[in-house]
Homo-oligomer: A and B are copies of this chain.
């Protein structure tokens, strides 16, 4: 990723501010996407201890070379460190040595067993009796301290997502030609994934969905050996990872003459998507974007046929914040801000008729939004 010192410095400081806000003076980051966000490190194991004056990236021997290379531009901001035994022992050592008092952990990700092992390690390794000037660090469950920073993309991220969206839209141009009579869903899915690679994506962002005919009525269908037939709609939902960032797109392709009912369904979903895109602007609640799509579908008598939310955030993960859905107690309903990137993907699924979903990715701008996948 093209990540510069200034961006990393700003990210670290934003998360430090969020951490201070909940009263923790160190944050143990164990969720890999959050580690990558803070340090640029892209390995599949590691941990970060974020202190007020330092950011330690802890990796095992397999990743020392890669971590050192990936953080070379951030010397002084991010320090790579490794260990002999286990991650948890190393983390306990660091937390004791750095004398942090209140250590935040990522409660949405840290498993109970690791929490217990870290807590036991801190308790057993602390000096006994504790000198009056010190106290044993305690682990504080926290939520969304890094995610709240990630929800607003910085310039480097916007540039990557814009390029990724452009490339995904180009793949979407060639995809309808892959859907022809007699081809199986699985064969089409393979071709889409090859097209993604050829377009420069390092891998699919998720398992490609190709759902034809009756299968299109299932929002979470997997590709089967079913052959596409004329007169049917096929839902194609695919995405790719480009320079670490995920984009996601759905088209519903009609092969030959489809029924009037399917045409109506398509028109209604397209109208709902357009209404949702037009509702995107800074200051609006995420749930208002969902409501814009939902009210169009309800007006067409398709409220019950739209069983999922309107969209989800995109970034280092293919499902991240903000959630674009109904307002639900205890789940955040974000006010939209410039720099948020998410999908708009209303759908309608009618057993016996079929299903339609249309999905694009948008970036919230000062004046409204930019569609990244046009």
Contact = CB atoms under 8 A, between A and B. Distances in A.
A74 interface: no
Interface in A27-71: 43-44, 61-63, 65-66
Contact of A111 (B65, B112, B207): B112
What secondary structure prevails in chain A residues at the interface with B? mixed
A64 to B, nearest CB: 11
Interface in A189-248: 190, 193-194, 197-198, 202-203, 207, 218-220, 222
Contacts of A198: 190
Interface residues of A, number: 34
Contacts of A72: none
B203 A113 contact: no
Contact of A143 (B61, B113, B186): B113
B107 A111 contact: yes
Given A194-B194, A308-B62, A112 B113 contact: no
A75 interface: no
A219 B43 CA distance: 12
Given A112-B115, A141-B113, A43 B220 contact: yes
A200 to B, nearest CB: 10
A116 B107 contact: yes
A10 interface: no
Contact of A105 (B61, B112, B193): B112
Given A112-B112, A116-B141, A190-B198, 18 more contacts: A43-B220, A62-B219, A62-B220, A62-B307, A63-B220, A66-B218, A105-B112, A107-B111, A107-B112, A107-B116, A108-B113, A109-B111, A111-B111, A111-B112, A112-B115, A113-B141, A193-B193, A202-B222
Interface of A: 43-44, 61-63, 65-66, 105, 107-113, 115-116, 141, 143, 186, 190, 193-194, 197-198, 202-203, 207, 218-220, 222, 307-308
